[in-house]
Structure 1
Amino acid sequence: SKKSLTLLDNTNCLYMIQLDRVIGELAKQVGRVPRTEIEKLVNMEILESMFH
């Protein structure tokens, strides 16, 4: 039981690290696009809530 919880905790940490990397890469890519272009494609309220 304790070993299973440790394994689950380690797996969750790996998922969190990977998610952090994906979000970081997304932020870099979005940061390269002019805001006027983003506003044409994306609801800015949603995008701002993701990065604030």
Structure 2
Amino acid sequence: MDYPERWKKKLADEEKRKKIAERHWRPTLWQALLLLATIAVAAIAFWPGGCASGG
């Protein structure tokens, strides 16, 4: 698909795309583990028959 000239000026070129990709947040190992632990605790707490419903 070819873009109109006025759009091409606004599109990021390859170099700008690489800079944007470098700035993009990527989770580190401890952040991923923390997320999994949070999901596990929430699942245990709110699962039917779990802690929240009195056991």
Fold conserved between structures, TM > 0.5:
no
TM-score range, shorter chain: 0.3 to 0.5
Asked which structure has the greater RCO (Cα within 8 Å, sep 6+), the reply is 1
**TM-score, normalised with respect to structure 1:** 0.40
Structure with max Cα Rg: 2
Greater helix content: 1
**TM-score, normalised with respect to structure 2:** 0.38
